[in-house]
Structure 1
Amino acid sequence: MNLSTLGLATTFSLALFASAAAPAAAAAPATASATGGLPFEAKPVGTFKSPWAMAFLPNGNVLVSQKEGTMTLLDPATGTRRTVSGTPAVSSKGQGALMDIVPAPDFAASKRLYFSYSEAGPGGDSRVVLASATLDQAGGTLKDTRAIFRGQDASTGGHYSGRISFSPDGKYLFFTSGDRQLLDPAQDPRSTLGKVLRLNLDGTPAAGNPLAAKGFHAAVWSYGHRNLLGIAFDRQGRLWEMEMGPRHGDEINLIKPGLNYGWPRASNGSHYDGRDIPDHAPGDGFEAPKVSWNPAISPGGLAYYDADLFPKWKNSLFITGLSGKSLDRIALDGENATKADHWDMGERIRAVRTGPDGALWLLEDGPSGRLLVLTPKR
């Protein structure tokens, strides 16, 4: 799909962001001020109440989830939008939300969506839920909605995670389950908290998961994670994951089956009350992150980029910053990852996706968060 198909080709030059970033230090990723301004133009195509995630459909429409439980279907070419009916009840207290949305690999034929949300449990508890449904675009309705996986109940209001990615062959679904601010369950073999899970498309544990024979929950693919807010495969089929650290120590990890990523026994950050956490170190038995941030950027979203619109950025990860109010590019080279660019966006950025035309699409955080389309600067 090209830009003219979306009706956006002549209007991307609007609303270019200014940057107040300080000049980059030597060997640091380039900032807007260091490179003479942002290398892209940003056009707003819609505003949403506390948007959380987005998904592109084959006809060019965009689905946007919002914190309180609303799913909106937007035609970016015309600005026409409608609220999708049939969404389940969402507990949006704390960090709860209607979270990720990902079309099934065979969406063009099946119209099947997968999405995640936080659900109220007994006695004030809550849990993360993975669900599937059929989208009737003409009617703007979810049908045959089914909860296919439910995480463990917890009394805390955060670290649901709930990010979704399909394996390159379309046979499996990878799902992130946060530690729910409980720390120790991330190391508990029987718990699904603080884990990357590999599931069948019906939500059941996939056969052959690497730790099942060692007494782990049958769905566990990797463990020792905190709040996993992004997961994506690269073009070689490697699985990359991004998680928000404690006080600093945000991470990019290369996820490999059966490995322990250390939380809460190792982190490049510290506890919020100032208590130290041992940094990742060679020989500690934990898989260290490929990239980490200290000070934190509070990452909100992750996308893999391999499109042609920004040819110099092929084979990169893009990371959004909430407290950082930023967009970061991470260059990939096999199993290596390097900080490449850091841009001050002036607003908290919740999510990023690669659009069907190769543009980068961002969602700002907050009560009037804009959907932005980034294209090369003319």
Structure 2
Amino acid sequence: MNAVHALLGACALAALLASAPAAARTASAENAGALPARDAAPFAVRRIAVFDRPWAMAFLPDGRLAVTEKAGRLFLVTQSGAKTPIDGMPAVYDRGQNGLLDIAPSPDFAQDGLLYFTRVAPAGGGGVLILSRARLEESGGRARLRDLETLWRQQPASRGGQPGGIIAFSPGGAHLFLSVGDRMEPDSAQDPEAARGKILRLNRDGSTPSDNPLAGQDGIRALTWSTGHRNPYGLAFAPDGTLWSHEMGPRGGDELNRIRPGGNYGWPEVSNGDQYSGWPIPRHATRPEFDPPSLYWTPVIAPAGLAFYQGAPFPAWKGSALIGGLRGEGLVRIAFRADGAAHQADRWALGRRIRDVAVAPDGAVWLIEDGAEAGLLRLTPRSSSE
């Protein structure tokens, strides 16, 4: 780690530590679930390529994308839609919500060529969430993963879905954050010995940072950054260095959370949704010892993908968070007030289940649909004549 990375990492940690729980509880969270979606959007949508059950995408420094498919396939994709398969992917457990999940280039990808990725691998009659990295090698028009390393492996195996598996690098790139879903074993989200229902913070080689909240303890406790999450499919840093996550609620209660070190977000003890059976769950307001959401959705949008916008083509969006909606079938823009409070500024109905969101180096916004024959979509500002 170079000196710039060390300085930026220290500044980011200081900003996170400054986010005290009391500050997060000064105002009630907005329920954005009933806010209407608009059909008219300030962008044009162009379909660039088609994938079979894609899950995640990430831009490389040269403007190409790495795109995962849940069945275990990985592709390099140009912005014109040309696809190159990447060989060397290890086996995945492709069942329900499980399979090949997130992908993220190393913060030093231009020098080390490393791709970090998550997958649920077959084990014990079910699957285990694994964080890996490997070197991307290209030659003669072909691409392959080399020097595969397992950085972290969830134990024990689970038969359920809701794996999480989203990767976010800290500003400066010194640390890696990993979301782990509750794997449909909700009580484990409050078990400090279980990885399920947690956000973890690791060094880039998978080791434990010495300044984690419980770094001096053993096992998963030492890696835990926050607790009490259900199904977190969004994890990203805002321009000010704040870490944000969203997660799917049960029957209602999708959440957007400002993540603080040592925070406990309450699942399954509290939620702004109810069990699928209709059985009520105590609301966040009844248990002030838990961190409440900054924003929630009832009815749900089933949020997937999270990216902060800093580009030039959409100047009004700078600093906003962009979230895809699976159930919501569209794109949501979250803006932040001067006091840090989040509110839903826009919601556009696209009639498509959106699985992931990314921002290209040129500031264009890219979406990827969910399911078979799913489109890779590029959004650009709509001209005044359209």
Tell me if TM exceeds 0.5: yes
Structure 2 counterparts to residues 119-134 of structure 1, below 5 A: 119-122=121-124, 124-134=125-135
Which amino acid counterpart does residue 372 of structure 2 have in structure 1? P
Instruction: Tell me the CA shift for residue 196 of structure 1.
Output: 0.5
Counterpart position of 1:161: 164
Q: Give the one of 74, 78, 86 matched to 1:71.
A: 74
Which range moves more in the overlay, 278-287 or 220-229? 278-287
Q: TM-score, with normalisation over the residues of structure 1?
A: 0.89
Which amino acid counterpart does residue 247 of structure 2 have in structure 1? E
Structure 2 counterparts to residues 239-258 of structure 1, below 5 A: 239-258=243-262
Counterpart position of 1:344: 349
RMSD: 1.7
Counterpart position of 1:32: 38
CA deviation digits over 1:6-54, x for unaligned, max 9? xxxxxxxxxxxxxxxxxxxx99756324xxx111000111000011111
Q: Cα 1:29–1:39, aligned 2, differ >3 Å: closer, same or farther?
A: farther
Contact 2:329 2:354 in 1 (8 A): yes
Contact 1:226 1:264 in 2 (8 A): yes
Structure 2 counterparts to residues 202-281 of structure 1, below 5 A: 202-213=205-216, 217-281=221-285
> Aligned equivalents of 2:196 and 2:62: distance in 1?
36
Which range moves more in the overlay, 368-377 or 200-209? 200-209
Q: Cα 1:92–1:328, aligned 2, differ >3 Å: closer, same or farther?
A: same
SS in 2 for 1:319: strand
Counterpart position of 1:44: 47
Q: Cα 1:271–1:212, aligned 2, differ >3 Å: closer, same or farther?
A: farther
Residues 1:173 and 2:179 are matched in the alignment: no
> Aligned equivalents of 1:317 and 1:150: distance in 2?
30
Greater helix content: 2
Which amino acid counterpart does residue 114 of structure 1 have in structure 2? Y
CA deviation digits over 1:302-360, x for unaligned, max 9? 11112221000111111111111111111023531101111111111111011111011
Counterpart position of 2:309: 305
Contact 1:28 1:339 in 2 (8 A): no
Q: TM-score, with normalisation over the residues of structure 2?
A: 0.87
Tell me the percent identity: 46
CA deviation digits over 1:110-165, x for unaligned, max 9? 0011000111112x121111000001133310111111101123432301100001
SS in 2 for 1:218: helix
Which amino acid counterpart does residue 135 of structure 2 have in structure 1? T
> Aligned equivalents of 1:27 and 1:261: distance in 2?
19
Q: How many equivalent pairs are there?
A: 348
Instruction: Tell me the CA shift for residue 95 of structure 1.
Output: 0.7
Contact 1:244 1:250 in 2 (8 A): yes
Counterpart position of 2:106: 104
> Aligned equivalents of 2:263 and 2:83: distance in 1?
43
Contact 2:33 2:301 in 1 (8 A): no
> Aligned equivalents of 1:27 and 1:312: distance in 2?
23
Q: Give the one of 47, 52, 62 matched to 1:59.
A: 62
Counterpart position of 1:321: 325
Counterpart position of 2:22: none
Contact 2:132 2:150 in 1 (8 A): yes
Which range moves more in the overlay, 181-190 or 280-289? 280-289
SS in 2 for 1:137: strand
Which amino acid counterpart does residue 136 of structure 2 have in structure 1? L
> Aligned equivalents of 1:115 and 1:248: distance in 2?
30
> Aligned equivalents of 1:223 and 1:361: distance in 2?
31
Gaps of 5+ in 1: 1-25
Which amino acid counterpart does residue 161 of structure 1 have in structure 2? G
CA deviation digits over 1:80-117, x for unaligned, max 9? 21211001101111111211110000000100110001
